[in-house]
């Protein structure tokens, strides 16, 4: 029994296919699905019939030389001349286009375009009907399958950008003939939920038949009548459904829809800091401006009149001060003159002046003698004269009334 390694097995398959002459160049007919154009100009798509599909590659050189760059569209029925290629490293089998003839459109493509023309005429896809996607929706409704990769991708991207965002799942089938009305009901339920601020309708990639339920008229009408913004995230970037045209915004993939719906928390923080700085600057500017306006108003309405009033009062005060000073000086001079007169009078009454004229002060036991009746013969008296005291003894006392009569 032979046991092959993967490399040996793939090499055997490739040698076997390469020996088959019929597979080097042949014709095959099918409908284009999952068409993608790489940035280098190469085209990658699949051809399918009612039961099977196969991967196809068209190199950019072939597309340019054969004039096929604008012919690779989903839903087109084509006949290609191709060779079978087996890539040993990955075990991938695909057809490499050598030429291609475009045939009639497939029945699904014809139905798609007819319904699109009808809904366009009714205004379902008008830009005037589109709503703005909120920058900071706090709760997002997801209308998708609970078991698909879409749910995981959206939650993963959102969690990395802003873990504070909440989601509500409205689980629906995303494939099959009966899926359309169920998806429409899920959209209505999400739109009626008071917590939901934004709705994402989505599923992963697939064939035209797989995505056909998102062309259902019921789904289109549910999105058109939704009062809350709707983002369509159906299939891959090259897959377009009527759901994409009627929605308020289209995400190339479910992950891209999550990026559109959820702003990174760090961006919100930066914007908040910018607004805070702006408010601080604005408030400081306004306060400074109001100060200047108030100062100008004060100077115009109150400042100058107040300064003029204060200047007048200061002039008055200076005049009163001068008057008080002049009056005080005059009063002081008058009092000084009166005091000088009194001093002179007091000086004239000074006993020393009398002593200078020859008068003396007579005392008995330190008590002034005013009358002859105050002494008797033999009393010792003290006589105070200008330059000293004389002690004497009374030898005779004679009474004379002449001085008393004159007084």
What is the tens place of the pLDDT at every residue in 190-203? 999 999 999 999 98
Query: Would you call 218 helix, strand, or coil by DSSP?
Result: helix
**Average pLDDT for residues 243-248, to the nearest whole number?**
94
User: Residues 257, 159: one domain?
Assistant: yes
Q: Where among 236, 263, 290 does a domain terminate? A: 263
Query: Would you call 301 helix, strand, or coil by DSSP?
Result: helix
Give domain status of residue 161, yes or no. yes
Range with lowest mean pLDDT among 166-170, 252-256, 332-336: 332-336
pLDDT bin (cut points 50, 70, 90) of residue 388 is confident
The single-letter DSSP state of residue 248 is S
Q: What pLDDT does residue 302 have?
A: 66
Contact indicator for 97, 58 with CB cutoff of 8 Å = yes
Q: Where among 227, 247, 263 does a domain terminate? A: 263
Looking at the predicted structure, is the pLDDT value of residue 238 above 80?
no
Contact indicator for 80, 28 with CB cutoff of 8 Å = yes
Looking at the predicted structure, is the pLDDT value of residue 387 above 90?
no
Count of all residues that appear for the chain in the document: 407
Q: Which of 127, 125, 79 is nearest to 99 (CA)?
A: 79
User: Residues 165, 189: one domain?
Assistant: yes
- Enter the pTM of the model: 0.52
* Cβ-proximal residues to 255 (8 Å cutoff; 6+ apart), any chain: 153, 154, 156, 157
User: Rounded to an integer, what distance in angstroms lies between the CA atom of residue 340 and that of residue 337?
Assistant: 5
CATH of the domain at 64: 2.40.50.140
Q: Which of 211, 218, 217, 216 is nearest to 233 (CA)?
A: 211
Give domain status of residue 255, yes or no. yes
pLDDT bin (cut points 50, 70, 90) of residue 224 is very high
Q: Which of 114, 29, 117, 116 is nearest to 76 (CA)?
A: 29
Token look-up 């009149």 returns 305
Q: What pLDDT does residue 184 have?
A: 95
Q: What pLDDT does residue 373 have?
A: 82
Give domain status of residue 345, yes or no. no
Q: What pLDDT does residue 142 have?
A: 95
User: Residues 146, 244: one domain?
Assistant: yes
Alpha-carbon Rg for the chain in angstroms = 62
For the chain, the domain total comes to: 3
Looking at the predicted structure, is the pLDDT value of residue 301 above 70?
no
**Average pLDDT for residues 35-58, to the nearest whole number?**
90
User: Rounded to an integer, what distance in angstroms lies between the CA atom of residue 354 and that of residue 385?
Assistant: 10
What is the tens place of the pLDDT at every residue in 142-156? 999 998 788 999 999
Looking at the predicted structure, is the pLDDT value of residue 317 above 70?
yes
Q: Where among 247, 263, 279 does a domain terminate? A: 263
């Amino acid at each position: 029994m032979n046991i092959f390694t993967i490399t040996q097995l793939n090499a055997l398959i490739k040698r076997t296919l390469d020996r088959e002459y019929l597979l080097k160049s042949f014709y095959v007919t099918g409908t284009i699905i999952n068409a993608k154009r790489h940035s280098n100009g190469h085209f990658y798509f699949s051809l399918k019939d009612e039961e099977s599909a196969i991967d196809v590659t068209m190199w950019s050189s072939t597309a340019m030389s054969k004039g096929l760059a604008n012919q690779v569209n989903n839903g087109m029925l084509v006949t290609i001349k191709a060779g079978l290629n087996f890539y040993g490293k990955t075990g991938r089998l695909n057809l490499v286009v050598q030429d291609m003839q475009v045939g009639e459109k497939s029945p699904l493509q014809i139905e798609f375009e007819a319904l699109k023309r009808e809904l366009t005429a009714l205004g379902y896809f008008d830009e005037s009907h589109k709503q703005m996607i909120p920058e900071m929706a706090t709760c997002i409704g997801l209308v998708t399958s609970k078991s698909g990769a879409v749910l995981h991708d959206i939650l993963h991207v959102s969690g990395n950008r802003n873990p504070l965002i909440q989601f509500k799942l409205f689980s629906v089938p995303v494939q099959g003939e009966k899926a359309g009305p169920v998806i429409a009901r899920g959209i209505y339920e999400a739109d009626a939920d008071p917590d939901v601020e934004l709705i994402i309708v989505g599923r992963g990639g697939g064939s035209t038949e797989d995505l056909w339920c998102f062309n259902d008229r019921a789904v289109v009408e549910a999105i058109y009548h939704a009062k809350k913004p709707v983002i369509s995230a159906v299939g891959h970037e090259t897959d377009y459904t009527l759901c994409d045209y009627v929605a308020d915004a289209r995400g190339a993939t479910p992950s891209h829809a999550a990026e559109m719906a959820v702003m990174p928390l760090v961006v919100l923080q930066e914007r908040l800091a910018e607004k805070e700085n702006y408010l601080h600057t604005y408030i400081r500017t306004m306060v400074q401006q109001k100060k200047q306006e108030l100062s100008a108003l004060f100077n115009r309405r109150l400042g100058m009149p107040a300064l003029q009033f204060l200047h007048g009062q200061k002039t008055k005060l200076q005049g009163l001060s001068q008057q008080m000073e002049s009056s005080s000086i005059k009063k002081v001079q008058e009092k000084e003159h009166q005091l000088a007169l009194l001093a002179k009078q007091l000086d004239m009454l000074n006993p020393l002046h009398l002593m200078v004229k020859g008068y003396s002060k007579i005392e008995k036991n330190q008590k002034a003698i005013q009358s002859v009746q105050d002494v008797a013969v033999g009393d010792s008296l003290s006589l105070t004269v200008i330059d000293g005291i004389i002690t004497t003894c009374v030898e005779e006392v004679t009474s004379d009334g002449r001085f008393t009569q004159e007084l």
